[in-house]
Structure 1
């Protein structure tokens, strides 16, 4: 269940209440006249089944409540109520499958912002992966994958294409390109420093490296795994199962490929650098393609569910 807290101008409250009451899957409606001070207005609160949340929020935005008042949405971890259970049963579909498009857009907007924190995490992850590829240490590679924040901008690109949001697409693309460019440039300098300290060497990079040579040897499985990871990552975002994102992060070879390309470039190993770059591009392309198609499939599925719910509602009343 979701909890909505709305601030509405007094002359719009009846319209908002009417909208909430006619939306299938809502319950626990509370109206507190004149309670809001900034902005001034009435406070309207209700609970709504997750599978009906996107429809209700979209309708409220169509009324302009986000401009003249406020719309706040939060998850309810526990609701002991027969009315809440009935509301969830009445709403079409399953809550675990529901997509809150406004929440997804807002979340990806934040995650795809080119910030100092984002650059720091991506750079640190690339430097950790650089140590992993030189030492042929799979544990360091996995750790670098988990630290990397690059799935945020990738999800932002997917969301932007489905929602037709050019600003989000541009923001995500900038975060990806600039972030990886800075991370790889810093890693080149890091490689020079480690070589100067005698900790990195050309011989280590040119060795067979059985645990990590897949990074600069892309094949069909590179793209297949990226596609599967893109589907899993998108589903974890839309279903609020964020724990699955860790598994996604350690499934794709984006950060390690960038690291291997940077170290190989510093040693003039251009064949490895190109292979790693190809691996990076394959993974990025696979995730974006799979994520976009997954969101389109979910959008189609939920539009079908709504149509079925609309057709069945007259007979159910």
Structure 2
């Protein structure tokens, strides 16, 4: 199981250890609407739905199921692509978190008191990149497949020497929370709440396990970009992709949303609190919930985490079966990884 992408500070803690060890509704509108600035978006009608799940095979932080109502909104039909993010950075000269040298004074706020500062040689711009082990490994140590890669960012997904040739229509990755917010502000949009995201992902299907029904691969068809095989070392690529896939490569859900399952994780605006659903279940109905007032993840109590949704190309049945509407993950606001992006929403 995985429910949390560790924080950038957590990645530095991993580096410290390494250094020390060496040294020491179904009626969505699919059409563009240029007059209201909603081109490339689809209409999500809003309504009441059961959020979360009581499925005993789900992860504990997805439970209990609870009644929620959301108002209607527009949502990007696809995850924001590299081409779209390029237009934003060219227009604004924005520099992403992964392209900046880390600030130790900020990082240490998310680490246990007394954590030693990593040497200056490793305090360089970069991001976390998935690197498949050459042989099967125990699944209790993510450092076996996540690598801190200096020079990795949205323009260089695997680090120096990599580029976006042939991937301009893929979702942008290595996007930290503030990078997504900056794009939203520039485009006149915002990030969805967790409730909005889950309502949209369900596509009007009440409590079905996946966005398209109750079977992962109905009639042998792959409906999302996920991991087939034995994570993390053996990817069979049966869906045709080892990494990210182009936008609209897999079928849309019943609201016209592409890749709302798999491909890359998507940011929401809600803080993550492992106990949040228990507080909502006490109410008869929650109307347009915006998440808890503060974050809480017992695995990293000092980290500031938001909820991300949807799973990614790295979600597999033997480790991270988060390719479900109710699935959720705690993602530190400063994390940029090779499997997290976003899409935007807008009120009518």
Q: Compute the TM-score of the two structures, normalised by the length of structure 2.
A: 0.20
Q: Which has the higher helix share?
A: 1
- Give the structure-1-normalised TM-score: 0.22
More strand by share: 2
